[in-house]
Amino acid sequence: KNEVEQSPQNLTAQEGEFITINCSYSVGISALHWLQQHPGGGIVSLFMLSSGKKKHGRLIATINIQEKHSSLHITASHPRDSAVYICAVRDSGGGADGLTFGKGTHLIIQP
């Protein structure tokens, strides 16, 4: 089973700063998800990617398949970006939901 490590576990930054959250995994995958968990607990899917880079508004996700690493970037961060960001990978071997979730990165953006 894949092992997913996220870093940092906790991150506090000032409004406007450029944010980077990292995700590393141990076994080849077919897809990687970035999820955002609101303070109330609900989860929203931000990106699903298997190669390259995706951008949505101020969010950018990149993945390097060879290095087994993905990053989530937030430009011009805002207090409303405060949330837990979760990386999840889908093993190439599939099976069941095939997903392994990271423990999450707790981000706080201060005004």
Partner 1 sequence: DGGITQSPKYLFRKEGQNVTLSCEQNLNHDAMYWYRQDPGQGLRLIYYSQIVNDFQKGDIAEGYSVSREKKESFPLTVTSAQKNPTAFYLCASSPGGLGTGELFFGEGSRLTVL
Position 100 contacts partner 1 (CB under 8 A):
yes
Cis? peptide before 39, omega within 30° of 0: no
83 part of the interface to partner 1, by CB under 8 A: no
Which residue, 4 or 19, has its beta carbon nearer to partner 1?
Answer: 4
Q: Phi and psi for 26 in degrees, rounded to 5?
A: -105, -25
Residues between 25 and 64 that touch partner 1 (CB under 8 A): 33, 35, 40-45, 48
Residue 81 φ then ψ, to 5°: -80, -10
CA distances from 53 to 15, 47, 89, 94 (A): 24, 10, 16, 23
Question: Binding to partner 1 by residue 99, rule CB under 8 A?
Answer: yes
Q: In the bound complex, what is the minimum distance in angstroms from residue 87's beta carbon to partner 1?
A: 9
Cβ atoms of residues 89 and 25 within 8 Å: yes
In the set 39, 57, 95, 111, which binds partner 1 (CB under 8 A)?
Answer: 95
Under rule CB under 8 A, residue 13 binds partner 1 = no
